Amino acid sequence: MRLGDPPEGRGFRAPVRRSTVVKGPAGSRTPAGWHGKLFLWGGCGLYAGPAFATTLHAHHALQVCIGVSGRFRLRSDTAAPWRAYRGAVVLSDQPHQLDGQGNSIALLYLDPESTLARCIAQLHARGGIFAVPTATLAVLLSRLSSLGETEPTTRLCEELLEALVPKGNLLVPLNGRVARALDLLRCAPERRMPLADLAAAVGLSPSRLAHLFRAHTGLPVRRYLLWLRLGDALQQLAHGVSLTTAAHAAGFADSAHFSRTFRAMLGITPSALG
A 10 A CB-CB count for 163 gives 18
pLDDT mean over 168-189: 86
Is residue 107 scored above 90 in pLDDT?
Answer: yes
Q: What is the pLDDT of residue 148?
A: 65
pLDDT mean over 114-130: 83
Torsion of CA 46, 50, 54, 59, to 10 degrees: 10
Would you place residue 257 in the very low, low, confident or very high pLDDT band (cuts 50, 70, 90)? very high
Nearest to 200 by CA among 175, 219, 181, 222: 181
Q: What is the pLDDT of residue 5?
A: 35
A 10 A CB-CB count for 74 gives 22
Per-residue pLDDT of 217-247, as tens digits, reads 889 999 999 999 998 998 888 788 899 999 9
Is residue 193 scored above 60 in pLDDT?
Answer: yes
Per-residue pLDDT of 2-45, as tens digits, reads 333 333 333 333 345 454 443 333 333 333 467 778 787 777 88
3-state secondary structure of 47: strand
The rounded percent of the chain whose pLDDT value lies above 70 is 82
Q: What is the pLDDT of residue 240?
A: 84
Is residue 49 scored above 60 in pLDDT?
Answer: yes
Q: What is the pLDDT of residue 25?
A: 38
Would you place residue 108 in the very low, low, confident or very high pLDDT band (cuts 50, 70, 90)? very high
Half-sphere exposure of 26 (CA within 13 A, CB side): 3
A 10 A CB-CB count for 271 gives 12
The rounded percent of the chain whose pLDDT value lies above 90 is 52
Mean pLDDT for the chain overall: 83
Is residue 84 scored above 70 in pLDDT?
Answer: yes
Q: What is the pLDDT of residue 41?
A: 77
Sheet holding 97-99, edge to edge: 83-85, 72-75, 97-99
pLDDT mean over 155-164: 81
DSSP H or E segment with residue 37: strand 36-41
Long-range contacts of 233-239 (CB under 8 A, 24+ apart): 233/258, 233/262, 233/270, 234/1, 234/2, 234/3, 234/40, 234/45, 234/262, 234/270, 235/2, 235/16, 235/40, 237/270, 237/273, 238/16, 238/18, 238/38, 238/40, 239/16
Torsion of CA 14, 16, 17, 20, to 10 degrees: 180
Nearest to 110 by CA among 71, 147, 66, 59: 59
- What are the structural domains of the chain? 16-163 (2.60.120.10), 176-272 (1.10.10.60)
